[in-house]
A and B are shown apart, each in its own frame.
Chain A
């Protein structure tokens, strides 16, 4: 009997810890998303639009989930340093130039990337600050 009680307490504690952990990561994700939204509004929305719809052929939409997933490790470099590489997005080629945003810190880039990849019909979860720092070192 006593064994059972101890086991029950043990299991409750373990599940509480797991639940708390999950909650913490969910909270972190939603913090990233809400901060990222502000950064997006201030820096990206002019060209890419309120709903990530883009602007003609001047600025590509941010709704191509496959592209975002495939190029996730390059997104930080695009944002920090700008890019003039042609890109095929939603089957259309875009050749415009994207300006650099050198003022954005690594944490800002992480947050805005998480916002973009979880808004406009994308749902790709977390992209951590540490990973962004690593990706930024690989910029070409």
Chain B
């Protein structure tokens, strides 16, 4: 009797250990099964995941930024605007601690999109980046038209954004920090206004980096 308890316990611990060893982050978004013909002529079912489509924005230096900048890197994306007085300062205060942790790791980047297409031109973003203390290639601040940015936020990154006459700042948006892997898939979403979720993001970046080595 005692022996069986012991073996159960061993099994339990082994299961736990194996779980933590190959921990993987979930893959978010839509997915579809696709039948692909292999080289040997046999049909195989492959899963196609939702990815971030190509984009072309102006960054804080007024140069064009596309997905080429993120090739072979993982990145954290968010949506904000410079005159925001509600959640953005907290989001970027927290995101900056993530930036500080991964400052020296060339495989991690940051991408902040402004949703204020009227005011946040590249020169405004530049000033903002300088004042936040992160005017570097690693953290890109990008400007795009409403037609470019809003559908990308809502359909691809699954972050709600919009103009809002009711709010004093003129816009509303969610404070998600979205973790994107090297294959442009969404691997995590963290509330940038909550310190404990941002801590989770820091840990998940490590897991994602290990996974994609």
Contacts and interface: CB of A to CB of B under 8 A. Distances in A.
Contact of A56 (B90, B132, B168): B132
B87 A55 contact: no
A59 to B, nearest CB: 7
A99 B87 CA distance: 14
A55 to B, nearest CB: 5
Contacts, number: 31
A57 B130 CA distance: 8
B contact residues, range: 10 to 19
B85 A47 contact: yes
Interface string A62-90: 00000000000000000000000000000
B93 A57 contact: no
A46 interface: yes
Nearest to A48: B89
B92 A55 contact: yes
Interface string A89-115: 000000011010000000000000000
A5 B131 CA distance: 70
Interface residues of A, number: 12
B93 A49 contact: yes
B87 A46 contact: yes
In the complex, which of the residues B92, B131, B133, B168 has the most CB atoms of chain A within 10 Å of its own CB atom? B131
Nearest to A97: B83
A46 B133 contact: no
A47 B83 CA distance: 11
A58 interface: yes
Interface of B: 83, 85-90, 92-93, 96, 128, 130-133, 168
Closest 8 CB pairs of A and B: A57-B131, A56-B133, A56-B132, A47-B89, A46-B89, A58-B131, A99-B85, A46-B90
